[in-house]
Amino acid sequence: MGNGGRKKRRLDIVLVALLVAASGTGTIWMGGHRARVSGTLSETAAPAIPVPARGSPAPAQPSASPSPTPTPTPTPPDYLSEITPTAGAGEHPARILPAAVPPPGTGGYLFLTDENSGETPQYDPCRAIHYVVRDKNTPAGGDDDIRQAVAAVSRATGLQFIDDGTTTEVPNWNRPLYQPKRYGDRWAPVLIAWTDPTESPDFQDGKYAGLTASRLVVYNAKLTAVYVTGQIELDAPQFQQHAAEPDASWIATEIIEHELGHLVGLAHVADPTQIMNGTGVQTLNGYGAGDLRGLAIAGSGACHPEV
CB-count exposure of residue 82 (10 Å: 0-12, 13-18, 19+): exposed
**Closest approach of Cβ 281 to Zn ion, in Å?**
9
- In angstroms, give the least distance from the CB of 288 to Zn ion: 14
CA-closest candidate to residue 280, choices 187, 209, 188 = 209
Q: How far is the CB of 211 from Zn ion (least distance, A)?
A: 8
Smallest gap, in angstroms, from Cβ of residue 149 to Zn ion?
A: 14
- State which residue, 16 or 218, has the beta carbon closest to Zn ion: 16
- Taking CB under 5 A as the binding criterion, the range among 10-18, 54-62, 129-137, 192-200 that sits at the site for Zn ion is 10-18
Q: Which long-range contacts (CB under 8 A, 24 or more apart) does 140-145 make?
A: 140/240, 140/243, 141/243, 141/248, 141/249, 141/252, 142/194, 142/234, 142/236, 142/239, 142/252, 144/249, 145/239, 145/249, 145/252, 145/253, 145/256
CB nearer to Zn ion: pick between 128 and 263: 263
**Closer to Zn ion at the Cβ: 267 or 303?**
267
How many residues bind to Zn ion according to rule CB under 5 A?
A: 2
Taking CB under 5 A as the criterion, which residues in 146-205 touch Zn ion? Answer: none
Please, what is the minimum distance in Å from the beta carbon of residue 21 to Zn ion? 12
Give whichever of 16 and 153 is closer to Zn ion, judged by the CB atom.
16
By CB atoms closer than 10 A (0-12, 13-18, 19+), residue 68 is: exposed
Of residues 49 and 190, the one with the C-beta less far from Zn ion: 190
Q: Minimum CB separation from Zn ion for residue 84, in Å?
A: 29
Residue facing Zn ion at closest CB distance:
16
Give the interface segment with Zn ion, choosing from 9-17, 81-89, 167-175, 229-237 (CB under 5 A): 9-17
17 membership: H or E segment, kind and range? strand 17-18
CB-nearer residue toward Zn ion: 19 or 45: 19
- Mind giving me the DSSP string for 144-162? HHHHHHHHHHHHHHT--EE
3-class secondary structure for 230-257? EEEEEEHHHHHHCCCCCCHHHHHHHHHH
Footprint of Zn ion on 213-252 (CB under 5 A): none
Say which amino acid occupies 157.
T
Which of positions 11-70 make contact with Zn ion (CB under 5 A)? 16-17
The shares of helix, strand and coil residues in the chain, as percent rounded to the nearest 5, are 25, 20, 60
Q: How far is the CB of 261 from Zn ion (least distance, A)?
A: 8
| CB of 16 or CB of 256, closer to Zn ion | 16
Q: Given the rule CB under 5 A, which residues bind Zn ion? A: 16-17
